[in-house]
Structure 1
């Protein structure tokens, strides 16, 4: 009896496995059929096309045109899938070296894009850009001095020892002549340096131009801030000089004390002879 039961159990398991396999195959066939039906319908998809503009070497844009075009592409699912997977990502090129084209309107852009995708059996249904302005003019280069935008805060009894150094002290600007000509200098990004008590050297980026068509070379400069300790130095007997006074007038005291603050590097260079104290008595009557 147990042998018969075991035989029927094994047959039942085999039958269940076969039914599951058949069900799985049927499900896969249904999914493939559904997939083919879906791909045979028409769809729309967003697509980005890269753009390159070729200008004569002596010209520059007044405002950079867009580097990409955002288009709606329409076609059957199969064609859109093939277009997305196998369409070469070569950019759309507008060569302005041989003809003067002040702008690219919507109709012209769609026509150029359609010619690019015609082999893929899809069409350009819509384009986000309405007009691309291509204003450009003569390109020039100009060297201008660099100015450091610094907020310097010193530690107590410390100050600048000399002028702030900038290397290189000038940069080259390149762009359209109407934007470059008025520029007389170029500043670094604003930077704050705190508690300065010794020389500091930092690399600072140059301020970004408001117009992206302006190119700056180099983009970084090295700024050196010379710092030293300042101390008090006292001169006790500096004579007072009298101007416009009668011979009969004398003053008291005839010398004064001067206290100055001087950097340590110049401490021994400063003497009493560097100071003049004058009393101008013109228009003053003795009582």
Structure 2
């Protein structure tokens, strides 16, 4: 079979033709993408200026389809970027009507849009709302946290949240079910000093429930900890009045962790060790395990010596 060979001139001519075709195609693509088009995307509805005297509940989802007018480039990027857009809707008219017409706020909404990408239509265009009695109450705040401390450091006192209560407002049938309000997660690592920081409250998942304030101040005392050992008498429990019982040994050594500032204040009077005689009467135990039933706050028992005590019952 004969092999067709192109001369240098012919190869150059073919290369020029291919290059021209590629340039023409790129120019066509640029021209097409530079033209203006109408295209649809989903947008999240963000409410503002909620009525103060009426509690409301949206009767549709929190997203709407919007028709945008923009260049082909914008349309292309909107297909690539799946992140929802945000439409800010003013609810001031809900003070005297149960619906909001989005197209009536088109110019205001477009003020928050880029100049080369404007909304021209909504679907649905009208949002409907249900109303109920509005109530206000205060509930305590719960701190959500994940804190990792440096070695030998830990929390040494109660968490202080200022303010400790949040005021919530909304429909009575919804507000009455809320008993506490959580913060956003406070995540800290390698902590070796007192924590003082501002933490946001979790936003309301419902547009008709408002909270105030939205941020609180959190203080967590943090100190260096060490170990200390005290001797505790073992207190015998379980109808001991009917028996003459002696335990051996009569005291146990308890090792616990405490902050350095409280080291001298940690005495045996703050602890209590117990053994239950019912374990012998009911289950036939020959030795009784010791439990530490009273421990000061922010102290942690790390060892009990011995963990079991012997006993003699005299009839």
TM-score (norm: length of structure 1): 0.54
Distance 1:228 1:183 in 2: 35
- Among 253, 257, 261, the residue aligned to 1:257: 253
Q: Pick one of 207, 213, 230 that aligns with 2:202.
A: 207
Q: 1:196/1:134 Cα in 2 relative to 1: closer, same or farther (>3 Å)?
A: same
Q: What's the CA shift for 1:178?
A: 3.1
Gaps of 5+ in 1: 1-43, 47-51, 74-90, 114-124
CA contact (8 A) 1:64 1:213 kept: no
Deviation at 1:160, TM superposition (A): 1.5
What is aligned with 2:184? 189
Match of 2:270 in 1: 274
Q: Which has the higher strand share?
A: 2
Who is 1:58 aligned against? 53
Q: How much does 1:171 deviate?
A: 1.4
How far did residue 193 of structure 1 move? 1.6
In 2, the alpha carbon distance for the partners of 1:254 and 1:72 equals: 83
Is 1:163 the counterpart of 2:158? The answer is yes
The residue number in structure 2 matching 1:128 is: 123
Q: Give 1:138 deviation, angstroms.
A: 2.4
Corresponding residue of 2:226: 231
Which has the larger displacement, 182-191 or 261-270?
261-270
Name the SS of the counterpart of 1:198 in structure 2. coil
In structure 2, C-alpha distance between the alignment counterparts of 1:221 and 1:92, rounded to whole Å: 27
Q: After superposition, what is the alpha-carbon deviation per residue over 1:224-246, rounded to whole angstroms, capped at 9, x for unaligned?
A: 1111122111235x444565696
Assess, with a 3 A threshold, how the Cα gap between structure 1 residues 57 and 161 changes in structure 2: closer, same or farther.
closer
Aligned length: 205
State the SS of the aligned residue for 2:158.
coil
Instruction: Name the SS for the 2:133 alignment partner.
Output: strand
Report if the CA contact (8 A) 1:142-1:180 is conserved: yes
Larger Rg computed on CA atoms: 1
Distance 1:93 1:177 in 2: 20
Q: How far apart, CA to CA, are the structure 1 residues paired with 2:90 and 2:224?
A: 63
- Residues 240 and 213 (structure 1), Cα distance of their counterparts in 2 relative to 1, 3 Å cut: closer
What are structure 2's unaligned runs of at least 5 residues? 1-36, 40-46, 70-88, 107-119, 285-311
